[in-house]
Amino acid sequence: MNNLTINEIQRFSFDSSNVRGERVLLNKAYQEIIKRKDYPLVLEKLLGEFVAAIALLRDIVKIDGVLTIQAKGNGFLSTLMTECDEHQNLRGIAQWDDSQVVPDVISLKEALKGGYLAITIQPRNGQRYQGIVELVGDTLSECLEQYFSQSEQLPSRVWLAANGAQCGGLFLQRLPDEQAKANDEDAWERLTHLASTVKEEELLGLETGELLHRLYHEEEIRLYEAKSMQFGCSCSRQRTLDAIMSLGSEEIREVLIEQGSVKVDCQFCAEEYEFFESELAELLGDEAKIH
């Protein structure tokens, strides 16, 4: 994989049709996410698909703010979550029951045993929007495609792959018909059929231009400027404090009495935050004072 451009997302379009696409390939940003916990390989792969998916979706959501994909279930895997902001900062996490034997190969649906997938758009200014689908599909790709059809968005297809070192994805979307391009009526069928032939090693091992050439050598493709993506955590002292305050004064007081301070580690980036009584007492009001 010499000179392979990674940690990037790149948009493309087909000159003869109203179909657009995205391709993402990440290694460093993905590795930064999975190294935070001692994930079994099968979870590194599932989490990698989420990371690739959030990168693809983030680039088509035209708002300043944070996009989140979260799956919740009742299997040995309880939560899979990834987030990406408008500056291409990615973070993600999986929570699982490590007292159970984790199989080497398992589908998302089996790992979560039912549950749901939620996609949340949180603009910096404005109202939060959330779409939810039941986990009916076996894979994240199927669940996302179901989400797109259920939420009556534009027809979309997603291909995802991850191997513990790299994660990658391909996304195609049919835009509303434009007069100039409406003459290529079977384009969507043809382009998605060709994309369906993509192999995991191609998604994870080929430069975007090379991948698209391999899939679409008879099509005229326009490649747009790539954007870099990186690991980045949105935690802060203030946000952590807000989360602590939401626990309620009684619980905070108990922790202060037992431990002398309230310590919180960010699950995404391992940053440690510590708050002492002097800082908390004022916020809790007089009744919360210990001494």
Q: Which is nearer to Zn ion, 88 or 166 (CB)?
A: 88
- How open is the CA angle 182-184-187, to the nearest 5 degrees? 115
Distance separating alpha carbons of residues 104 and 160, to the nearest angstrom: 18
| Number of Cβ within a 10 Å radius of residue 278 | 8
Distance separating alpha carbons of residues 213 and 285, to the nearest angstrom: 65
CB of 29 to Zn ion, least distance (A): 15
Stretch binding Zn ion (CB under 5 A), from 70-78, 201-209, 230-238, 249-257? 230-238
Among 226, 255, 269, 288, binds Zn ion (CB under 5 A): 269
CB of 130 to Zn ion, least distance (A): 22
CB of 266 to Zn ion, least distance (A): 3
Q: Which is nearer to Zn ion, 102 or 269 (CB)?
A: 269
Residue 187-226 contact track with Zn ion, rule CB under 5 A, x = bound: ----------------------------------------
- What's the one-letter identity of residue 208? T
Among 24, 233, 262, 280, binds Zn ion (CB under 5 A): 233
What residues between 271 and 290 interact with Zn ion by CB under 5 A?
271
Distance separating alpha carbons of residues 290 and 254, to the nearest angstrom: 9
Distance separating alpha carbons of residues 277 and 186, to the nearest angstrom: 67
Listed residue (73, 80, 13) closest to 52, CA to CA:
80
Asked whether position 264 contacts Zn ion by CB under 5 A, the answer is no
Q: Which is nearer to Zn ion, 33 or 187 (CB)?
A: 33
Torsion sign (Cα): 95, 118, 92, 13: positive
Among 53, 117, 235, 256, binds Zn ion (CB under 5 A): 235
Distance separating alpha carbons of residues 42 and 28, to the nearest angstrom: 19
Question: Using CB under 5 A as the criterion, which residues of the chain lie in contact with Zn ion when the complex forms?
Answer: 233, 235, 266, 268-269, 271
